[in-house]
Amino acid sequence: MSDTTELSLSTSLDGPVPLPKGFEFAGIHAGIKRSRKDLGLIRCTSRAGANAAGVFTRNPVRAACVDRCAELLPASGVRAVLVNSGNANAMTGAAGVAVNLAMAAAAAAALEAKPEAILTSSTGVIGVPLDPEKIAAAMPSLSAELGEDPRGFARAILTTDTLTKVAHAELQLRDAEGQPQVVRLFGVAKGSGMIHPNMATTLGFVCTDAAVEPELLRELLRDATEPTFNAITVDGDTSTNDTVLALASGEAGVAIESEPDRASFSAALEAVLRSLAEQVARDGEGATRLLEVHVSGAPDAAIAKAIARGCCRSSLFKCSVFAGEVAGWGRLGAAAGQAALEAGFLELDLAAIEIDAQRIPLVRGGAAIGAAGPAGAADEGIDLGELARRLREPTVRWDVRVGEGPGSFTALGCDFSYDYVRINADEALQVTVNAQGQVGRNVTLASYTPILKHQLLVDGLSYVRRFTGLRAMVHLSGSAARKPMLLASVARDLELMLSAELRVLVVVPDLEVLAGLRRDFADGAYHLAQVPHDPERIGARLDRGQACVLVQTRPDPGELVALAVRLGVAKLLSLADDQGLRDTGGLVSELTPDQALVGLDRGRFSTEADENLAFARHAARQGLGALHLIDGRMPHALVAELFTEQGIGTLITRQIR
């Protein structure tokens, strides 16, 4: 019997996570990758094991783990899910099938279970042999790590992702005696590229302590997947390993049987999957914005879905979303027409098309409002400045009406940025497998394509020379300091700065972040020297070419700016969890100190990172040459700012350009 308690949903891993009863998690580095966690385990601790169901890629080119799980599920008595990252074990022939079976056998032996009670999943590079001995050797350590903290598992399944993706929900249902009980769901996913689902996408795992029969669990999972994971597309490519698994331990003492309970549980499952799907789409390779396209007025839901996903898949439209400044309604209209054609909706009438961007009407009757283009729209009262501001927001929604039918669907995607091509073209050439079978990347110049190599050599080297001998201060806070993958990208950026012979002082919030940076520097030629807050000693070390680190538990922006001024720092770069400073027109890219002070005094600027305002005020008042406020949530933001003419974020500079 359902209770009226409202569903509670969260995506945070900060503090204690309310996990469903009957599950443990672990994640370690097993040597599949050269570094980083690459082997994860979910174990069901209930006596009878978990009921389980799954949805899988419909791509006929499938990995062995997908075929095996599809054959086993739905089922009862599932004891664990073993997941490796870094190697997809796909298109590896009979050897890949044998390796997948060996994975299940190794986990079964460690957990004292039958191999058929172990589900397996893999993700990573396609076509590279996977060494089962690494997994077998790692199982004792992996089993020993099992516990109620899911963070290790969430990190172990990542590949090109920039962050972990989790969602957990609680609802209250009544047990057989009519007593209220808390039912919990916990979902974790990975995914960044090769995302265009057909019954599933990337990897996703949902655990619940409700009791759900396997066949019902499969039905509920399929229904919840359709408007969530099957609504997203990043690049139009369906992976070989796409899998979403659901496991139910029954430890909450609540059986999902009645229609009210089924409806409540189904809503919670869909909410968890929707949150994970949005996180996957938002973290698309090189993405800067989450894209939502809602189609209505179609003859049925299937055609609405085809049109919405076709719009999110359109490369031209996705590029216009990245540009942000331009309302790409023309590209969206063309994409909608193409998708309608492919879906067999030949009756689509141009005169019926209506398009809104961020709730602002742009197209009615198949034509731009007011005139043949956006310029004429101003006559109808559309604020083009406000439109441009909204199109630069982190989430951009477009609404397309194609007729008067009952069908509607909302698809999720992301923009196409310069980084998408870089990640999927040049970095694809960098994948290497060493003699030990470990997957890694060769990031030397020799691994790049000839065109990019030429561009780097001719344009890049002459540009970099201007930085030789200059002093820079880098302040880390928020995600750039706390998320391992982002901290690693900061380390790589710092190495490049040092290679260009900049004199760098890094300010970190604690010794843990310093240790993380040092680990990421371990394979390089540079050493990070911790220094006291003493300008003379810091300056002497910088002059000797040493990379210096200052640990400031509660950094005072005024003191850091004063230190930068005393050191003669050319630029202070502050990485925080915001793009920079915004006003009513959106992100402010550049300010003089006077403009910054006047705007701050008048309350013109807003930011989600409070330190940005303090840094801006002190930099303007104390005479700092340049301050750049950068979004530290974007990988390699430091180099993107420093080694490009235009840069990113908000620059406060005394230089006339």
Asked if residue 424 belongs to a known ligand binding site, the reply is yes
pLDDT band at 159 (very low <50, low <70, confident <90, very high): confident
Q: 8-282: what fold?
A: L-amino peptidase D-ALA esterase/amidase (3.60.70)
Distance between CA atoms of 294 and 410, rounded to whole angstroms?
Answer: 4
Distance between CA atoms of 111 and 108, rounded to whole angstroms?
Answer: 5
At the top level of CATH, which class does the domain 290-416 belong to?
Answer: alpha beta
In DSSP notation, 467-524 reads: GTT-EEEEEE-THHHH-HHHHHHHHHHHHHHHHTT-EEEEEESSHHHHHHHHHHTTTS
pLDDT of residue 450: 59
Percent of the chain with pLDDT over 70: 84
Please enumerate in sequence order all residues whose Cβ is within 8 A of that of 614, keeping only pairs 6 or more positions apart, or say none.
Answer: 557, 558
pLDDT mean over 22-30: 96
pLDDT mean over 503-515: 93
Angle at 589 between CA 587 and CA 591, to 5 degrees: 120
pLDDT digits (tens, 9 = 90+) for 226-248: 889 888 876 666 678 889 999 99
What number of CA atoms fall less than 13 Å from residue 293's CA on the CB side? 38
Distance between CA atoms of 178 and 77, rounded to whole angstroms?
Answer: 27
pLDDT mean over 328-351: 89
At the top level of CATH, which class does the domain 466-653 belong to?
Answer: alpha beta
pLDDT band at 49 (very low <50, low <70, confident <90, very high): very high
pLDDT digits (tens, 9 = 90+) for 194-208: 555 543 448 999 999
pLDDT mean over 44-67: 94
From its phi and psi, is residue 237 left (phi > 0), alpha (psi between -120 and 50) or beta?
Answer: beta
pLDDT band at 168 (very low <50, low <70, confident <90, very high): very high
Percent of the chain with pLDDT over 90: 52
User: What is the location of CATH 3.10.20.340 in the chain?
Assistant: 290-416
Most confident of the ranges 14-18, 390-394, 444-448: 390-394
Query: Across the chain, which distance is largest between two alpha carbons, in Å?
Result: 76
pLDDT band at 445 (very low <50, low <70, confident <90, very high): low
- 411 close to 232: Cβ distance less than 8 angstroms: yes
Please enumerate in sequence order all residues whose Cβ is within 8 A of that of 133, keeping only pairs 6 or more positions apart, or say none.
Answer: none
pLDDT digits (tens, 9 = 90+) for 555-566: 899 999 999 999
Distance between CA atoms of 439 and 433, rounded to whole angstroms?
Answer: 5
pLDDT of residue 398: 93
Of residues 92 and 439, more confidently modeled = 92
pLDDT band at 657 (very low <50, low <70, confident <90, very high): very low
User: Amino acid letter at 92?
Assistant: T
pLDDT of residue 418: 67
Phi, psi of 252 (to 5 degrees): -75, -15
Most confident of the ranges 71-75, 480-484, 553-557: 71-75
pLDDT mean over 148-161: 90
Asked if residue 162 belongs to a known ligand binding site, the reply is no
- 128 close to 92: Cβ distance less than 8 angstroms: yes
Distance between CA atoms of 27 and 40, rounded to whole angstroms?
Answer: 4
Select from 526, 523, 428, 446 the least CA-distant residue to 35.
523
- Is residue 123 among the annotated active site residues? no
Please enumerate in sequence order all residues whose Cβ is within 8 A of that of 457, keeping only pairs 6 or more positions apart, or say none.
Answer: 445
Instruction: Point out the least confidently predicted range of 105-114, 205-214, 470-479.
Output: 470-479
pLDDT of residue 521: 82
Distance between CA atoms of 35 and 619, rounded to whole angstroms?
Answer: 39
* Secondary element (H or E) of residue 423: none
Asked if residue 190 belongs to a known ligand binding site, the reply is yes
Summary count for the chain: helices (H), strands (E): 22, 29
Distance between CA atoms of 41 and 52, rounded to whole angstroms?
Answer: 15
The one-character DSSP state at 19 is P
pLDDT band at 191 (very low <50, low <70, confident <90, very high): confident
Of residues 389 and 97, more confidently modeled = 97
The tokens describing 9, both together, are 């949903």
Phi, psi of 434 (to 5 degrees): -85, -175
pLDDT of residue 586: 75
Per the omega criterion (within 30 degrees of 0), is the bond before 74 cis?
yes
Asked if residue 201 belongs to a known ligand binding site, the reply is yes
Which residues lie across from 118 on neighbouring strands? 80
User: Amino acid letter at 562?
Assistant: A
pLDDT digits (tens, 9 = 90+) for 607-650: 888 899 999 999 999 999 999 999 888 888 887 776 554 447 89
Q: Which of 123, 162, 164, 201 is labelled catalytic?
A: 201
The tokens describing 225, both together, are 């997947």
